[in-house]
Structure 1
Amino acid sequence: MTALLLVRRVPPGRLDLTRATAQQWNDGLARDATLQWWELVDPAADDAHPAAALAAVRNDDAVVRLAGLATPPGRRDRAVQVLMALVDALRATSARTLEAAPSADLLTILRDAGFRPGPDGREVVEL
């Protein structure tokens, strides 16, 4: 049976685990202390269990900017899943747009998660 995975903003007590997990999957992303982290987790797992995928954003009220994703190697499906869940979660906030600056390898993931071309070469989702 596959576990139900939900997205949530990383609670302060899990930030050290989150950064350690991100360091394994995306070291550069893990070093930025200014990011807001969201995690895809099994809600039945204990707090010592690492996330299934991570998304890091910069938030300025109306526009949320995707800083990066961290997933286990080869788990493109988890990257899409965390982005789709993040979009749903952000719809309950004051944010109106989620945007990303796509790299060549990220573009397909963004498109699969519902992003579309926006201004300045960015990919966007209207919330």
Structure 2
Amino acid sequence: MTALLLVRRVPTTRLELTRTTARQWDAALAGDTTVQWWELVDPADDDSAPAAALAALRPDPVTVRLAGVATAPGERDRAVQVVVALVDALRATSARTLEALPSTGLLGILRDAGFRPGPDGREVVEL
């Protein structure tokens, strides 16, 4: 049986753990202090358990930008899962679009999560 995972905005009390985990998976993304972190977690785990996947956003009331996704090596399915769950969570906000610049390795993840080509080389999903 697999655990039910949910996406949530990282609580302040978990930011240090989030940054430590992100550093192991994507050091450049972990060093960006301007992003808002979201995590894919097992709600039954305690707060000392690291996330299964992380997503970094640049929030905006209308167009949210996905700055990056971080997972353990070889966990591409978790990367897709966190982006899909993030899209669903953002549908409950005022945001209308989630967009991303497809970096190396991210394009396939974005496409699997429902993104399509948008303006200026960005990948876009309507919320």
User: Does TM-score exceed 0.5, indicating one fold?
Assistant: yes
* Partner residue, 1:116: 116
2-structure distance, mates of 1:104, 1:47? 32
Tell me the secondary structure at the aligned position of residue 32 of structure 2. coil
- The aligned runs of 1:1-127 (5 Å cut-off) are 1-127=1-127
Taking every aligned residue pair, what percent have the same amino acid on both sides? 78
- Over the residues paired in the alignment, what is the CA RMSD in angstroms? 0.6
2-structure distance, mates of 1:22, 1:106? 16
Aligned length: 127
- Please give the TM-score of this superposition, normalised by the length of structure 2: 0.98
- Please give the TM-score of this superposition, normalised by the length of structure 1: 0.98
Tell me the secondary structure at the aligned position of residue 60 of structure 1. coil
After TM superposition, give the deviation of residue 60 of structure 1 in Å.
Answer: 1.6
After TM superposition, give the deviation of residue 112 of structure 1 in Å.
Answer: 0.3
Task: Give the unaligned 5+ runs of structure 1.
Answer: none
1-structure distance, mates of 2:97, 2:43? 27
Task: Give the unaligned 5+ runs of structure 2.
Answer: none
